[in-house]
Structure 1
Amino acid sequence: MTSYQGNIRKMSVSTDVDNLAQYQLPVGEERLNMNELIGQQISMQHTGKIHCVHCAAVTKKSFNQGYCYRCLMKLAQCDTCIIKPELCHYDAGTCREPAWGEANCLSDHFVYLANTGTIKVGITRHVTDGVSSRWLDQGATQAIAIMRVQNRLTSGLVETAFKSFIADKTNWRTMLKSQPEQADLQALKESLLEQVEGDLDEIIEEYGFQAIDITDTPAIDIHYPVQQYPEKVKSINLDKEGEFSGTLLGIKGQYLMLDGDRVINMRKYSGYELSIQTEQ
């Protein structure tokens, strides 16, 4: 057995040449290659300590997946407009951290469709080599960029227009239960663009032609290291249970899948200090 201990962060994830998701779990200064642990016995125990992922202060309770209350209240990345980008208020001069807003909100964003068990619309800042880490974090098996827009506010306005015709949420239980059927995302993209044409024209009229750029990139397929999907999802709660052990059967989104149909969202426990044992 090999042991690790430290504060964890959300799993970092990228794809290989076959678009298979590759996961690493940060534990203190260590990086665990989680793909290598598929099929092996693992165990994790919460030591009872939680540190804010931003300021590292000790906190009794974690907010917004890893922040202490003080950071929750003061950081721009914890503001309501991060969840609802159509409420971006940088131009009103009320951004909590203008420099952060300039770097993260006043840059290009992509509006996309993804298959996470059901088809959803969403936004992301980065699409690297045709893949966004956002799609991987959501457990998408297919995705396609619809358009590039000039900033976060515009992405929110466009997403709101699409939400009249398609969901913007991921049902995590559905995402974890099986490999979904393939969808024709290109055809759906074209159909939705026709339905929101009037809304897009209004956005262009207010913000200019440079506000929206329809992309022509093809849909991609994404694969995950899963040996077996759970039949009935049972969520592990570290705050209540404190520890768990079992055979790691797969990883999808930010979830570990274990024997007994158990799953755990590792991102939820960012900042928690864990003691981890693996066979390797």
Structure 2
Amino acid sequence: MLDIETGALRKMRADLAADGSVNYRMVIGEQELELNTLIGKQITLQYSGHIDCQHCGRKTKKSYAQGFCFPCMQKLAQCDMCIMKPEKCHFEQGTCREPEWGERHCMIPHYVYLANTSGLKVGITRHTQIPTRWIDQGASQALPIFKVSTRLQSGLVEVALAEFIADKTNWRTMLKGNAEPLDLKALAQALKPKIAEKLASVRLKYGTDAVTELDEEVIDLHFPVTQYLSKISSFNFDKTPEVSGILVGIKGQYLIFETGVINLRKFTSYHVSLHVA
């Protein structure tokens, strides 16, 4: 038996091993728990009804933007709409909520990638978030195809590619099993000519080195799942404070139980306790 006292929940941390296997750790307060070894065991998560903003620590009745109070959600750059839509970045207009934060997180190299999650999709990530971003999305394959100078530029390239392929993951499909393997390199070569004009426009405005074409190898990811569900039901701490069942897998930021799934990232800053029978 194992008990972890109540603490603020954070998104799961994960590492990608050399063989492509993903190893997860749950973060509750100051404690970290290796999760892969708990698959097959009875796990209970109990929500205390308490939420603290992960930025200022203020108690909040509702979590905004995955773990923030309303005032912080309104003022922090990391909660601005341009985080979800990087092509809307307004740093160069001088209206960034936190210019210093923007310098550290947005005005740095980003990658545009293809991934196989619920199928083929395009995405972007900071260079520091590889392979974390792919793990969080539940991608079974990933391939960086462009390196760009800033987040804004990566968003422009992503939007160009999104005219031809998806830019979002169908999380229910992703949790029902691994998508059929794709030849991501061949797909990338087929897509690049379709956005040649858009790439030329980005380079014309921001410089010839704003977008660099890459020739990388496909990364394969293997998630610790012993059983996928044919029908997806999701648990919600706001409706059901206690989530309990046999843990059968972990994928993306989801714990997969025999009877349903829970997205732990959605409940960042919720105070929970954990019990393993």
Q: TM-score when scaled to structure 2?
A: 0.98
* Runs of 4+ deviating beyond 2 Å: none
Pairs within 5 Å for 1:14-33:
14-33=15-34
User: Which residues of structure 2 form unaligned runs of 5+?
Assistant: none
State the match for 1:158 in structure 2: 157
State the match for 2:12 in structure 1: 11
Q: 1:2: Cα distance to partner? A: 1.4
Please give the per-residue CA displacement for 1:192-221, whole angstroms capped at 9, x wherever unaligned. Answer: 101101111111111111100111111111
State the match for 1:132 in structure 2: 131
Query: SS at the partner of 2:216?
Result: coil
CA RMSD of aligned residues (A): 0.9
Q: 1:132: Cα distance to partner? A: 1.7
State the match for 2:37 in structure 1: 36
CA separation of 1:31/1:255 partners in 2, compared to 1, >3 Å: closer, same or farther? same
State the match for 2:275 in structure 1: 277
Whole-angstrom CA distance in 1 between matches of 2:211 and 2:18 = 30
Q: 1:21: Cα distance to partner? A: 0.8
Residue type at the aligned position of 2:30:
E
State the match for 1:168 in structure 2: 167
State the match for 1:265 in structure 2: 263
State the match for 1:243 in structure 2: 242
Residue type at the aligned position of 1:61:
K
Please give the per-residue CA displacement for 1:225-276, whole angstroms capped at 9, x wherever unaligned. Answer: 000001100101110011111100000000000012x000000000000011
Whole-angstrom CA distance in 1 between matches of 2:47 and 2:91 = 39
State the match for 1:145 in structure 2: 144
Whole-angstrom CA distance in 2 between matches of 1:256 and 1:127 = 25
Whole-angstrom CA distance in 2 between matches of 1:90 and 1:229 = 43
Q: TM-score when scaled to structure 1?
A: 0.97
Q: Is the 8 A contact 1:41 1:278 kept in 2?
A: yes
Whole-angstrom CA distance in 2 between matches of 1:229 and 1:54 = 35
Pairs within 5 Å for 1:115-130:
115-126=116-127
Q: 1:124: Cα distance to partner? A: 0.4
State the match for 1:106 in structure 2: 107
Residue type at the aligned position of 1:159:
E
Percent identity between the two aligned chains: 50
Answer yes or no: is 1:225 the counterpart of 2:224. yes
Residue type at the aligned position of 2:28:
V
Residue type at the aligned position of 1:2:
L
Q: 1:127: Cα distance to partner? A: 5.7
Whole-angstrom CA distance in 1 between matches of 2:27 and 2:216 = 32
Residue type at the aligned position of 2:74:
M
Q: 1:141: Cα distance to partner? A: 0.1
Q: 1:126: Cα distance to partner? A: 2.3
CA separation of 1:204/1:77 partners in 2, compared to 1, >3 Å: closer, same or farther? same
Query: SS at the partner of 2:189?
Result: helix
State the match for 1:93 in structure 2: 94
Please give the per-residue CA displacement for 1:133-158, whole angstroms capped at 9, x wherever unaligned. Answer: 01000000000001100001100111
Q: Is the 8 A contact 1:124 1:132 kept in 2?
A: no
Question: How many residues align structurally?
Answer: 276
Residue type at the aligned position of 2:42:
Q
Q: Is the 8 A contact 2:117 2:178 kept in 1?
A: no
State the match for 1:203 in structure 2: 202
Query: SS at the partner of 2:10?
Result: coil
CA separation of 1:23/1:247 partners in 2, compared to 1, >3 Å: closer, same or farther? same
Please give the per-residue CA displacement for 1:46-96, whole angstroms capped at 9, x wherever unaligned. Answer: 000001111111100001111110110000000010001011111100000
Q: Is the 8 A contact 1:66 1:269 kept in 2?
A: yes
Residue type at the aligned position of 2:265:
R
Residue type at the aligned position of 2:185:
Q
